[in-house]
Structure 1
Amino acid sequence: MLSDHAVSILIFAGIDVVMALSFYLPASAGQLSAGQGGFMALGAYTSAYLTAHLGVPFPLALVAGGLVGGLVGLAVGFPALRLRGLYLVLVTFGFGEMVRVLFLNAPAFGGPAGFAGIPAATTFWHVLGLLVVLVYFFARVSGSRMGRAFAALRDDEAAAEAMGVNSTYVKLAAFAAGGVIAGLGGGLYAHYTLYIDPEAFGVSRSLFVMLYAVFGGLASFWGSVAGATILSVLPELLRWVKDWREILYGLLVLAMMLVRPQGLLDAALLARLSPRGERAAARG
């Protein structure tokens, strides 16, 4: 049996994987979002309010948090349709800060004092169940027509449109789906920590979500899974260095990015690890 501390580490690591996947989905369509912390906050506060004040069952509140994140993601996607790269990052960064300030000045949600009294509901099995569903979803999407549309937009938007890809629909779908996933992650987070405040969903949250995905590699959703898992568990493995832990953590991340700027799992490595790649190597 795992200790309570080990289970807690696994739950937080699982939530980080959920958030990394929420960033990967729009990123796979060429849409880099620096506002995932804002979507997470919407899911966390929505689900917490429903369970703590209205007595809504946790599963329904969790779904509601995801839907709110998705609807707002759809709304954010419209002004971002003509933006790419740094400009899109800045717009979504501004959105995340807007959400943080909104909850900071909302007395109904606790304001700067935070939202307490959230019922304990999230378990390891809830997190694991959501991860299984997401892995299945991403595996299906990656080989589907929508997945190919995502890849085409990421590589060359003009060429993708010339081939008949509806870029507006695809981008909005990516933003909305990413918002849903982040909202679900926020709901799980709120019902495990039992207390949330706006600062928990600030700039650092969004930056770490981006780091998880980039560290693991954007060639596949497995990169986000691997990156978030490693970087979430790594601080616990570095406890023995005590005060030097954060410095060593940063140095390890920096070294990884210098050695493998494409991320831990790039397209070539994934091809070799796949069954097809192994058969090709055996024939070659």
Structure 2
Amino acid sequence: MATLVLATHSISPAARFKDAATVAFIALLLGIPMIGLTTVDQGGALRIATRWPTLFAFVAAAFAGRLVLRYAIDQFKARKLAHERSAAATAAADAVADSRRAGRPLLTWVGWAALGVALSLPVFFADNRYVVDTATTVLIYVMLGWGLNVVVGLAGLLDLGYVAFYAVGAYTYGILGTQFGWGFWQALPVAGAMAATFGIILGWPTLRLRGDYLAIVTLGFGEIIRVILVNWTELSGGPNGIASIPRPSFFGLELKPPGDDPTFASFFGLEYSPSQRIIFLYYLILALALITNVFVSRMRKLPIGRAWEAMREDEIACKAMGINARNVKLSAFAIGAMLGGFAGVFFAARMGFISPESFTFSESAIILAIVVLGGMGSQLGVVLASLVLVLLPELGRDFAEYRMLLFGAAMVLIMVWKPGGILAHREPTMRYVADGEKR
């Protein structure tokens, strides 16, 4: 039976060769400007030099790699299909259920291990500002990914303008902090409420839209916010942005050199060090991210969270069961926007300066890529994808010439090997068995 299935569903060598030739041709087109041609300094003038052997080696590697990868994928699919057909349906369902139950403790342990690493990271890298700063950036994207995960991963609403809520939170704190003297903790809930209001404003006219149409509207909304910030100079400072945004304090104690007012270092009898502020900001965003995770996890277990997941799976069936689709969608937009606004407040406080250039469409694309690559609906997947998408460009700085090529290749490989994301399995919040017992 297995041999018959392999013979029936395997792809012919000619088809694999054609597929590999197509990939090699694309590699040739992309490699000519990036690898085949380069500029060299010759007597104070630039001239174009060629590197055809390197280009041909690159094309050959692409051809051979695609051929091997296609063969391996075909064999894997054929064996998987043969295995599924050889097993009884009931036994297969039981095996899947057992594997899911066995996988939960593993993911739980991975999550706790990641938390332990996050808590101890500044202890081991207290003198390395670059590592702590990079980890802070990762946590910002983790928080943004968890916020967008509510909209895209749980409610199934494609949002390409999520950076708009990020910008609303940042500019709300920037304006309140510089013009009205508000502190970080005072402005944090107000900025979150403002971002949630904008989320409802976006969600209301898009209640009847789905799929690509919804994506286009949200993309336009994000660009509208950016254009307003660029042109409304009296409010946002225009292209010049807002500077001198107040830094967050530790219960009123500023993290700055000792002066007339009590500071963090003087209050605790410590010698002032610039790294204290860096470490404080790291633990602050870590606390905000953990609160976000707990909040979203609890929301998933409430009726509104189950309604999000039901709406993601089948909106028509939800309406037939009496679920108010309007309120469910608006709540997802509002909560996701609120979490993005909180992240924006921290970003403004961390940088001390914001401008419209920090909130372009590319930021929305990165946040959406984090949710998709991590596995829509997966909290831990967002963390893993944030590590990949933030650390990979940083690790590629030593290969500046091929940095984006490596970045793109990594994303392609992830989507080839794990089309549903790094953690593609979407575990339901609540499961029922035959006797009605909740699991």
- Fold shared, TM-score > 0.5 on shorter chain: yes
1:21 counterpart residue number:
146
2:256 counterpart residue number:
none
1:150 and 2:277 equivalent? no
SS at match of 1:34: coil
User: Which whole-Å deviations, capped at 9, do the CAs of 1:221-273 have from their partners, x for residues lacking one?
Assistant: 322232123211222222332322221011101111122110000117x69xx
2:242 counterpart residue number:
115
Contact 2:183 2:246 in 1 (8 A): no
Q: Distance in 1 between matches of 2:377 and 2:157?
A: 14
2:425 counterpart residue number:
267
Contact 2:242 2:353 in 1 (8 A): yes
Question: Once structures 1 and 2 are overlaid, which stretch shifts more, 47-56 or 150-159?
Answer: 47-56
TM-score of the superposition, structure 2-length normalised? Answer: 0.59
Runs of 5+ consecutive residues of structure 1 not aligned to the other structure: 277-284
Contact 1:48 1:61 in 2 (8 A): no
SS at match of 2:420: coil
1:4 and 2:129 equivalent? yes
Q: Distance in 1 between matches of 2:332 and 2:411?
A: 28
Q: How many residues align?
A: 271
Q: Distance in 1 between matches of 2:183 and 2:241?
A: 22
Calculate the aligned-residue CA RMSD, in Å: 1.7
Alignment of 1:110-259 (within 5 A): 110-121=237-248, 123-259=281-417
TM-score of the superposition, structure 1-length normalised? Answer: 0.91
Identity %: 36
Question: Once structures 1 and 2 are overlaid, which stretch shifts more, 60-69 or 219-228?
Answer: 219-228
Contact 2:184 2:247 in 1 (8 A): no
Contact 1:74 1:175 in 2 (8 A): yes
Superposition deviation, residue 120 in structure 1? 2.7
Q: Distance in 2 between matches of 1:13 and 1:145?
A: 31
Contact 2:169 2:341 in 1 (8 A): yes
Residue number among 148, 157, 161 corresponding to 1:35 in the alignment: 161
Contact 1:34 1:207 in 2 (8 A): yes
User: Which whole-Å deviations, capped at 9, do the CAs of 1:127-175 have from their partners, x for residues lacking one?
Assistant: 0111111111122122332221111101110101112221111100000
The letter of the residue matching 2:230 is: L
The letter of the residue matching 2:337 is: G
2:221 counterpart residue number:
95
Q: Distance in 1 between matches of 2:357 and 2:394?
A: 22
The letter of the residue matching 2:150 is: L
Residue number among 171, 196, 208 corresponding to 1:45 in the alignment: 171
Contact 1:22 1:36 in 2 (8 A): no
Higher relative contact order (CA 8 A, sep 6+): 1
Runs of 5+ consecutive residues of structure 2 not aligned to the other structure: 1-122, 249-279, 432-439
The letter of the residue matching 1:113 is: N
Contact 1:19 1:182 in 2 (8 A): yes
Superposition deviation, residue 64 in structure 1? 1.6
1:76 and 2:202 equivalent? yes
